[in-house]
A and B are shown apart, each in its own frame.
Chain A
Amino acid sequence: MIGRLLSHDLPRSRWLAAALIVVVLALLLAPFLFPGAKALSVAAKALVFILLVASFDLLLGYTGIVSFAHTMFFGIGAYGVAIASTAMGPGAGPVLVGTAAALAVSLALSLVVGLFSLRVKAIFFAMITLAVASAFQTLASQLSDFTGGEDGLSFKVPELLSPAFELFGGAELLGRVVDGRVITYYGLFGAVALLFLALLRIVNSPFGRVLQAIRENDFRAEALGFRTVVYRTASNVISALFATLAGALLALWLRYVGPDTTLSFEIMLDILLIVVIGGMGTMYGAVVGAALFVLAQNYLQDLLKWLSADGGAFAGIPVLSQLVSPDRWLLWLGVLFVLSVYHFPTGIVGRLRAAATKGRR
């Protein structure tokens, strides 16, 4: 049963299985385990990132092509929901219409970009997506009547999902009022779980095997009779569609979209980092990596703040206190990123699996 659910791609490491179970249980019970709005937001962000990173891993880890336009599709999803909800008023209809429109836009855009640039050379793709993504970001901030420009858009979600809605007339369940936020959270959880399993299904299908063959040796794959351009483009499109859905989920949770939350290059870097640290070419890497990353992002920054603040350990030392200030969070991420690409190319999941096979011998 579990084998079927996971498409027979089991964790293959006791520690990895344990880590996955912990993450899934923690996310499943988050509203009741961890009180407070911040903890729930962190958990929701982790959920969205799991889906976003898993969809990116389909491209980077399984097909072996680097795209810098993944946040563009993420943004399209988020803006789709936001624009439709602003224009048509809150309700389930606008959310569905917005998501569908966003999916259509992403489909067309990813198809065009893919057919355009994947024909020539994989390295072309990285450069072209970088250019396209930056143009799209400019476009989103220029069309301010439509997208709210730099300020972004705040909108109302359907009543069922709004914080004011209370199930059971406000009675507490396990110490928590089941309000719209909790319902939204479980909606997110269900959607992410379903979509993640779908991705797992895709990468373990014959189609996914071809993608991995192209990653290992595209020339040989072509010689075996697979049209690599078609497969690469298909991978690009699928990955873009899943990213769009992740964007729509994020918009529903935040009830706001803006360039910084969805389109910014920093998010792209976050995604790259999570994929590399979690483990490229393993869907589980996305789960473990995203959970660790979101935790670190939200709580490690507090640590850095504490270290560099007055009275902190490094407060008196001029250069060091600059280096560990929370604004320089990206510096440490960058260093970690470079080091992990060198020394840790298979990521956490790869390491755990390697350790498990070694132990069995």
Chain B
Amino acid sequence: MNTVVAPTPGAAAAIPKARFDWIPVGLLVAVMLLALPAVGSGSSWLTLTVAGLAMGFIIFIIASGLTLVFGLMDVLNFGHGLFIAIGAFMATTVMGGMATFADTGVLQALLAIFCAMLVAMSVAGALGLAFERVIVRPVYGLHLKQILITMGGMIVGEELIKVVWGPLQIALPLPEPLRGAFIIGEAAIEKYRVLASVIGAVVFGLLAWTLARTKIGLLIRAGVQDREMVESLGYRIQRLFVGVFVAGSALAGLGGVMWGLYQQAVSPQIGAQVNVLIFIVIIIGGLGSTLGCFIGALLVGLMANYTGFLAPKVALFSNIALMVAILVWRPQGLYPVTNR
């Protein structure tokens, strides 16, 4: 007894619009608001929140490339941390060379940082191109080999960094004019964190604009949703992918500079350490999702700073606790990418 349900008029014409899922954004706001009574004083809360957001922006810049590469080509790059390390080490070289110049004034200091970022991005991007060609391309579609090979590439890269820059930790001090903090009322907001937030917001804006408003962005988003369909429409997803890989590596280089300045020290193990962090972020966000990566990065940054203030010992495990909590709630991450 099959009754044919006639489609309601107009339903076929209007494409059902996907409802935006506000819950994760609400979660982010809720975390911030909940932290206010826990921290106690409003000024420390402001300091911590700005610090957390700055950290979150930096993490997002690093992780965005990784999540896009995974979404587009189903390639999980365990060697992503290498580009972060390269960025950070290029920063030590460039900033070291421009140290006396950078100390003369705020503008000069900013110029030095921008130089370091430019160099780091180009080197990391070029390296990404080579890495894609030599390491990643032969193992498309083979997850097991991808994990092993990119891990191997990371080891080799880390050792080569040790050959060039030495195995020890290198200090990466901020230029004199950027040290210290703005005092607003009783809240102290470090200058560099403001700078990092601004740069992070600009990069996020550019990235979001590219993804949402340009044709390339449209193709990338479409590729993440359904790769074969994009290919059958005549676009070479391979080229798109190489572009995303290089851009992602360059962003990782940029993030490396910012992370290095944030920590004020760089060690060859930085790549492996940050790798763990960004994996947690993209798992939280949902593999392949850009928005999820953004929310996840901010959550991780905020949690790290709040727990670091409230219970320093617990802070070491705040990331993993956050990941477990999110996965219990949504096993596919905050914004699951459909069809994966």
> Which A residues lie at the B interface, using CB under 8 A?
60, 64, 66, 116, 119-124, 126-128, 130-132, 134-135, 138-139, 142, 265, 269, 272, 276, 319, 322-323, 327-328, 330-331, 333-335, 337-338, 341-342, 345
Contact = CB atoms under 8 A, between A and B. Distances in A.
B147 interface: yes
B272 interface: yes
Contacts of B276: 130-131, 134
Contact of B283 (A124, A138, A265, A323): A124
Given A120-B332, A123-B147, A128 B283 contact: yes
A149 B30 CA distance: 36
B159 A328 contact: yes
A334 B148 CA distance: 11
Interface in B254-290: 272, 275-276, 279-280, 283, 287
B143 interface: yes
Given A123-B143, A334-B155, A338-B149, 13 more contacts: A64-B144, A119-B331, A122-B143, A128-B283, A130-B279, A131-B276, A142-B313, A142-B316, A323-B163, A331-B163, A333-B155, A341-B145, A341-B152
Interface in B112-150: 135, 138, 143-145, 147-149
A135 B162 CA distance: 25
Interface residues of B, number: 38
A137 to B, nearest CB: 10
B110 interface: no
Contact of B160 (A122, A327, A331, A342): A331
Given A123-B76, A131-B276, A135-B320, A331 B156 contact: yes
Nearest to B153: A338
B147 A66 contact: yes
B320 A342 contact: no
B247 interface: no
Contact of B152 (A66, A132, A338): A338
A305 B29 CA distance: 57
A127 B279 contact: yes
B323 A131 contact: yes
Q: By CB atoms of chain B within 10 A, which of A66, A119, A265 has the most?
A: A66
5 contacts: A120-B331, A123-B143, A124-B287, A331-B155, A334-B156
Q: By CB atoms of chain A within 10 A, which of B76, B147, B272, B280 has the most?
A: B147
Contacts of A139: 316-317
Nearest to A266: B155
Contact of B159 (A135, A334, A341): A334
B36 interface: no
A119 B78 CA distance: 21
Contacts of B279: 127, 130-131
A338 B283 contact: no
Contacts of B160: 331
A341 B156 contact: no
Given A123-B143, A127-B76, A66 B156 contact: no
A322 B320 contact: no
A338 B156 contact: yes
A335 B147 CA distance: 15
B35 interface: no
B147 A265 contact: no
Given A123-B147, A131-B276, A322-B163, A335 B156 contact: yes
Contacts of A330: 155, 159
A8 B275 CA distance: 43
Contacts of A135: 316-317, 319-320
Contacts of A64: 144
Interface in B142-178: 143-145, 147-149, 151-153, 155-156, 159-160, 162-163, 167
Given A131-B279, A131-B320, A342-B138, A331 B152 contact: no
Contacts of B135: 338
Given A127-B76, A331-B160, A335-B156, A66 B316 contact: no
A134 B163 CA distance: 25
A50 to B, nearest CB: 21
B280 A131 contact: yes
Contacts of B152: 334, 337-338, 341
B313 A328 contact: no
Interface string B4-34: 0000000000000000000000000000000
A254 B126 CA distance: 46
B327 interface: yes
Contacts of A132: 320
Interface in B280-323: 280, 283, 287, 313, 316-317, 319-320, 323
Contact of A138 (B76, B163, B316, B324): B316
Nearest to A323: B163
A64 B324 CA distance: 24
Contacts of A335: 156
A328 B317 contact: no
Interface in B80-112: none
A265 B317 contact: no
A138 B331 contact: no
A116 B327 contact: yes
A126 B159 CA distance: 23
